[in-house]
Amino acid sequence: MDKTITAQRIADQLLLRGVVFEQKKMFGGVCFLVEDKMLVGTSRDGKLMVRVDPVEDALLSLRAEVEPMVHGGRSMPGFLYIEPDGFEEDTELEFWLEKCLEFNPRAKSSKKK
């Protein structure tokens, strides 16, 4: 799936929910930040990057379209890649956004002060 289209779909869903967000180019795609914390993003290879509760990693990773995010050779707890067929439908994208929004208030900010 085209990352520009995916980014627009994400922005539209966040706007519909009244979520205040910031967009930044990161990881070869576009990331959406809420309260200075990464919420969700697109990747250069068309996958969706989601930030969810690390406690749910194992359960969510059982889904066929999900794989753990590995950065710099190490697995990143709470960060997952979703294959395009796992968010093609609006209901699927909404599911992932809900998971991200649920965790965001508890997520740590990586923003440098």
For the chain, the domains span: 3-106
Which pLDDT score, from 0 to 100, does residue 1 have?
A: 64
Q: How many residues does the chain have?
A: 113
Confidence band of 27 (pLDDT split at 50, 70, 90):
confident
- Mean pLDDT of all residues belonging to the chain: 92
Closest by alpha carbon to 16, among 8, 5, 28? 8
Task: Find, among 85, 10, 73, the residue nearest to 47 by Cα.
Answer: 85
Cα gap 2→85, rounded to integer Å: 12
3-106 CATH fold: Aspartate Aminotransferase, domain 1 (3.90.1150)
pTM: 0.91
